[in-house]
Amino acid sequence: MFFLRGQASVFLRLAPLAIALGLVCRMSSAEAFDDSARDFESPGFVANQYLVKVKSRRSLESLESEFALAVSRTPIMTTAEGEWYKLTDVDSLTSFGEIMAFVYSNHLLNDEVLHIEKNLIWHSLTVAVDPSPKSAPSLPKRARKDPLLGRSWGIGKVHAPEAWLKTQGSEQVVVADIDTGFDYNHEDLINNIWRNTKEIPGDGIDNDGNGFVDDVVGWDFVNKDSLPWDDNGHGTHTSGSIGATGGNGVGTSGVAPHVRLMGLKFLSGDGSGSTEDAVRAINYAVQNGASILSNSWGGDEYSKALEDAISAAAAKNIVFVAAAGNDGTNNDTLPMYPAAYNLPNVIAVAASDSDDHLVDYSNYGANSVHIVAPGDRVFSTVPGNKYEVNSGTSMACPHVAGAAALLRSFKPTLSAVEIKRILMASVDKDPEYADKIASGGRLNVERALSLAAGDQK
């Protein structure tokens, strides 16, 4: 079980950079981010809210006049086919079935209304865990500058230190961690935090005209402000696995120790968030320079709006890494989204333990789950300059996101499809994965970079 200890005593040390940026933080609610007992069916969606895709804003007029529906003033997302809007039932009297019946009876479907769906709720993907960390394989001397790196067994298992001889990442490569937010003042994250240099901190003005005021390190889509503070712990943990600073003599290191981390909070303190906010977060990442998206969350219902957002990211050559899920089931037959979307930029990640066994809770899929990565008892950063252990495909996903970031740092011309292909072609094969994982193996970052360099065929 993972807790932020002492909700009243979690004080963040504001480093000089944080002070310079004018950043403040919300205090932790000390919530556990164990989601092993979650029930996706309850509540499952935001009450009285619907997402609708129409050819134009005018297509909503008949729905507005028939029902007491409030429509978002601006689109949630615009695609080549149409625009997505949020509908809110003002009087809470209209059922989803009534809206659909009206659309069908008035022949609106396809002519004006392209799609309607509930505003689904998604959840972070972690499980209850023995809090003691696994011991790590022996690390090269050059990788021992971080005093706690020896607890991060996954770093050695995927051969990240050997990969660092080729690249440790680039300031030009931004990884958006779409999660519960992060501790942007953490001693082992602060030097790798993405900064929106077009924005003047704290002046209350949208200086870069991107629609977000003072978005210096990212955005909080839950509280609708510029402070993506992690009041859960999950997002700080995943961010650390992606890109905790390496070689700084503090803490541990992420797979990509010198990339930039963009914090996008769409999951609240209880680890849940809506499709609307997930879509907005993905759109923000696409529009503000992220090239890798890490997504340690999921749900068992399909969303067309979410698929459209990820497809738009694919069109911009952005890699979308997603946790496969923690139900121990086959995603080929019982899909867990967004990992199960059949899109060219999606990389679905299962979880392994330190002995290279697929953990019993990890979802799998010979067609829909692409790669395995360390996910059991993973040691990483948590709010308040602390470090703890957690488990789940949530923890496996950022290992692959970090690897994708190293590939893009090493060879910026690689497309999202090429990065996916290289990661899958360079795995350490294991017979246990042969009929469960599309690549048949576990992440090997060193081999991936060698393949990208042309050292291996």
Confidence class for position 24, pLDDT limits 50, 70, 90: very low
Pairing of strands 441-442, 77-78: unpaired
The reply to whether 394 belongs to the active site is yes
pLDDT digit string, tens, across residues 292-330:
999 999 999 999 999 999 999 999 999 999 999 999 999
Tokens found for residue 110:
């396809």
Closest CA to 33 of 396, 394, 372, 360: 394
Pick the catalytic residue from 179, 277, 300, 327. 179
Query: Which residue did the predictor score with more confidence, 337 or 133?
Result: 337
Rounded CA separation 279/274 (Å): 9
Q: Are 288 and 313 in contact (CB under 8 A)?
A: no
Q: Are 315 and 343 in contact (CB under 8 A)?
A: no
Q: Between 393-410 and 416-425, two packed helices, what is the crossing angle to 10 degrees?
A: 110
pLDDT number for residue 133: 57
Task: Give the CA radius of gyration of the chain.
Answer: 21
pLDDT number for residue 144: 59
Pick the catalytic residue from 394, 426, 439, 450. 394
Average pLDDT of the chain? 89
pLDDT number for residue 134: 57
Query: Which residue did the predictor score with more confidence, 17 or 373?
Result: 373
**pTM metric for this prediction:** 0.90
Confidence class for position 391, pLDDT limits 50, 70, 90: very high
Cis geometry, peptide bond prior to residue 161 (ω within 30 degrees of 0): no
pLDDT at 27 over 90: no
The predicted model gives 6-28 an average pLDDT of: 36
Residue with tokens 């979307």: 341
pLDDT number for residue 449: 98
Query: Which residue did the predictor score with more confidence, 339 or 129?
Result: 339
Pick the catalytic residue from 123, 159, 186, 234. 234
How buried is 430 (Cβ within 10 angstroms: 0-12 exposed, 13-18 middle, 19+ buried)? middle
The predicted model gives 49-57 an average pLDDT of: 91
pLDDT at 29 over 50: no
pLDDT at 14 over 60: no
SS3 305: helix
pLDDT number for residue 38: 35
The reply to whether 179 belongs to the active site is yes
Per mean pLDDT, which of 8-17, 67-76, 248-257 is the most reliable? 248-257
How many CB atoms within 10 Å of residue 428? 17
The reply to whether 234 belongs to the active site is yes
Q: Are 451 and 406 in contact (CB under 8 A)?
A: no
pLDDT at 168 over 90: yes
- Tell me what percent of the residues of the chain surpass a pLDDT of 70: 87
Query: Which residue did the predictor score with more confidence, 452 or 100?
Result: 452
pLDDT at 135 over 60: no
Domains of the chain: 16-38+125-453 (3.40.50.200), 45-121 (3.30.70)
The predicted model gives 73-90 an average pLDDT of: 92
pLDDT number for residue 141: 54
The predicted model gives 130-150 an average pLDDT of: 66
Pairing of strands 292-295, 319-323: parallel
pLDDT digit string, tens, across residues 243-288:
999 999 999 999 999 999 999 999 999 999 999 999 999 999 999 9
